[in-house]
């Protein structure tokens, strides 16, 4: 296994319009010695044909096709097993890499104690503020170990284990893996100069409600990794699962929702379906999932 290069691993599923831009950005990287491993998770939107044509034109591109849809974790794991270099860098198909991304992301590996490096994610461009739900995909200070911008030593992955697909449902398989690494004593570095840009998303009510499950992973992580589950922080206000702010909203939500709607309209918001999906649907569903996992895991506060 070569140690002086990097394997970039991308899982993809039915997002050809994003993937094309992602790969185009990877071809412009200032880093020289790398391969691109794309794992197609049984797409049916022309992705397979695009990738087969691409690999014929560029010998840096390697393509793996799943025989059935398996999810992002299993796809990434297949890419890890196929990688030829000692560093595995991960980017998502809906992101665009800055030309210096890979060089800056891998510089910290000159320190042999460092086992993984977290990069920064900006939505569309640096300085873009955005509204909810656009803020869900920002990681501008490289605080969170997001799978769209992170790199691991392959030896650490071989030792600690790969992505756990049981966490796919929470979209937090990347968080669980990083915490597992920390629990095993592996050192990491945050590198906010290593930047990827998340492409503009077409948020739907369905995708937003799916994201409501994300936070409910924390009771599971607390049970499994009690000393390390909050290494990277937590989106849970006050680190209390049953939080007083929740009850305040529940008691006043007709008035609060009206005030939030007025603010949304005054700020130029036009997607009212997304607004009402969040207020109150997303809010209630997020708490429902969180409380359910808290009760199941017998963890009500931290």
Would you state the structure tokens that stand for residue 76, as one six-digit string? Answer: 């990434």
Distance CA 40, CA 64 (A): 6
In the predicted model, is pLDDT for residue 1 greater than 80? no
Which 8-state DSSP code applies to residue 235?
S
Would you state the structure tokens that stand for residue 161, as one six-digit string? Answer: 């284990």
- Which whole number is the average pLDDT over 53-59? 95
In the predicted model, is pLDDT for residue 77 greater than 70? yes
Q: Which residue has the higher pLDDT, 149 or 297?
A: 149
Q: How confident is the model at residue 238 (pLDDT cuts 50, 70, 90)?
A: low
Give the domain extent around 290.
203-302
Tell me the CATH number at 185.
3.90.550.10
- Longest Cα separation, the chain: 61
Cβ-proximal residues to 268 (8 Å cutoff; 6+ apart), any chain:
none
89 and 175 share one domain: yes
The pLDDT, as a whole number, for residue 3 is: 54
Mean pLDDT of the chain: 90
For residue range 2-26, list pLDDT tens digits in order: 458 999 999 999 999 999 999 999 9
Which 8-state DSSP code applies to residue 301?
B
What angle (nearest 5°) sits at the alpha carbon of residue 171, between those of residues 168 and 177?
A: 75
214 and 178 share one domain: no
For residue range 251-284, list pLDDT tens digits in order: 887 888 888 888 878 877 767 888 888 778 888 8
The pLDDT, as a whole number, for residue 2 is: 44
Q: How confident is the model at residue 246 (pLDDT cuts 50, 70, 90)?
A: low
- Which whole number is the average pLDDT over 162-168? 98
The pLDDT, as a whole number, for residue 56 is: 94
Q: Which residue has the higher pLDDT, 6 or 212?
A: 6
- Closest C-alpha among 118, 99, 135, 251 to residue 190: 118
The pLDDT, as a whole number, for residue 282 is: 84
Peptide bond into 13 cis (omega under 30): no
From 202, 235, 258, give the residue that closes a domain: 202
Cβ-proximal residues to 108 (8 Å cutoff; 6+ apart), any chain:
114, 117, 189, 191
**Cα 141 from chain centroid (whole Å):** 14
29 and 118 share one domain: yes
- Closest C-alpha among 255, 277, 259 to residue 267: 259
- Whole-structure pTM value: 0.91
What angle (nearest 5°) sits at the alpha carbon of residue 179, between those of residues 176 and 185?
A: 145
CB atoms within 10 A of CB 132: 15
118 and 208 share one domain: no
């Amino acid at each position: 296994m070569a140690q002086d290069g990097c394997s970039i691993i991308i899982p993809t599923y039915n997002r050809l319009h994003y993937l094309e831009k992602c790969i185009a950005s990877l071809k412009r990287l200032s880093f020289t010695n790398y391969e691109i491993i794309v794992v197609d998770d049984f797409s049916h939107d022309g992705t397979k044909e695009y990738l087969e044509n691409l690999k014929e034109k560029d010998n840096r591109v390697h393509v793996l096709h799943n025989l059935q849809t398996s999810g992002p974790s299993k796809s990434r794991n297949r890419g890890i097993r196929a990688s030829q270099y000692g560093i595995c860098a991960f980017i998502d198909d809906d992101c665009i890499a800055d030309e210096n991304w890979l060089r800056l992301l891998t510089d910290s590996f000159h320190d042999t104690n460092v086992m993984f490096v977290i990069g920064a994610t900006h939505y569309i461009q640096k300085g873009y503020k955005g509204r909810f739900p656009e803020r869900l995909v920002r990681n501008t200070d490289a605080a969170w170990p997001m799978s769209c911008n992170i790199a691991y030593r392959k030896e650490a992955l071989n030792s600690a284990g790969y992505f756990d697909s049981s966490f796919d449902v929470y979209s937090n398989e990347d968080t669980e893996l990083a915490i597992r690494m920390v629990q095993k004593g592996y050192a990491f570095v945050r590198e906010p100069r290593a930047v990827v840009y998340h492409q503009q998303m077409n948020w739907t009510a369905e995708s937003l409600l799916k994201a409501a499950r994300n936070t409910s992973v924390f009771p599971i992580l607390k049970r499994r990794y009690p000393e390390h589950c909050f290494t990277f922080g937590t989106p849970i206000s006050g680190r209390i699962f049953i939080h007083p702010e929740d009850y305040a909203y529940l008691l006043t939500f007709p008035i609060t929702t009206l005030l939030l709607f007025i603010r949304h309209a005054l700020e130029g918001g036009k997607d009212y379906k997304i607004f009402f999906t969040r207020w109150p649907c997303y809010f209630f569903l997020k708490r429902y999932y969180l409380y359910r996992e808290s009760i199941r895991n017998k963890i009500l506060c931290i």
